[in-house]
Structure 1
Amino acid sequence: MKLRTALALTISIPLAAAYVGDMTHYTPGVGSCGYTSGPDDAIVALSVPMMANPANPNSNPKCGTKISIYNPSTGQTTWATVVDTCVGCEEYDIDLTLSLFNQIAPDGNGRVHGIEWGGDAVGG
């Protein structure tokens, strides 16, 4: 566990920039990182270009990275762990569990535009 924490801190640098994209939600299971996640977990899937999957996606350096997610419409901020790849997402879009989506966008209709996210705290 300590190794995973240290690794996550080390690899947050590539995601340190703030990105802006759409936020959607999905039902998780076993993600491209090899982690099994449930509907109440604070997890996120990044787009194929952002993940830049290596030959073995389980060894992707972005797996396990924590990102900050900010909704400027509501002022809500949360953190999530990268565990999956969103095949249907545009480059800067993110896909969350429904429970996490509802925390940051309680009035969202399934897609929220203009979400800020990155490896460092963003927004607000």
Structure 2
Amino acid sequence: MVRMTVQLIALCSLVFASTATAAAVPSKRQANGRATWYNPEGFGFCGTRQDSSQHIVAISSYWTAGFGTGVCGVQINAWTPDGRSTTATITDVCYTCGQNDIDFSPAAFQDLAPLSSSPISIEWQLL
């Protein structure tokens, strides 16, 4: 009985330790990067269903390496040098993007520029 209690305590310790290690996503961080677009279909990194008509974005794997799924569901505001802007929700990861580059759904990218303009320069901020 004592052995079972000790094993249960050890198991609970591992569970609580693993949930406490996720880092908080920095708020209001602003970055400069390049924006591209992709056709999101099915389930992305965050486990939510996504499609190209939604205002969603895949963020660089740099961010998920530091914050894991903590970036999922966070909104970003992005704008171009000429003042066009969009707001999108992080639902996926872009493994080929540079550190501050992001990959938009077509619906979100078209708020910034025609799809044929990809890639474009942007500034963006976590909301």
Q: TM-score normalised to the size of structure 2?
A: 0.73
Match for residue 25 of structure 1 among 20, 37, 55:
37
Structure 1 unmatched ranges of 5 or more? 1-10
Q: Is the 8 A contact 2:106 2:115 kept in 1?
A: no
Larger Rg computed on CA atoms = 2
The number of aligned residues is 103
Match for residue 47 of structure 1 among 31, 51, 60:
60
**Offset at residue 106 of structure 1 (A):** 2.9
Match for residue 71 of structure 1 among 70, 80, 89:
80
The answer to whether the aligner puts 1:103 opposite 2:114 as a matched pair is no
The answer to whether the aligner puts 1:90 opposite 2:90 as a matched pair is no
- How big is each residue's C-alpha offset from its partner over 1:46-98, in whole Å with a ceiling of 9 and x where there is no partner? 001112177xx6xx11100011111113x111110000000110000000011
Moved over 6 A (4+): none
Structure 2 unmatched ranges of 5 or more? 1-23
**Offset at residue 32 of structure 1 (A):** 0.3
Identity %: 32
Distance 1:95 1:50, change over 3 A: same
Q: TM-score normalised to the size of structure 1?
A: 0.75
Cα root mean square deviation, aligned = 1.9
Question: RCO (CA 8 Å, sep 6+): is it higher in 1 or 2?
Answer: 1
- Amino acid paired to 1:98: P
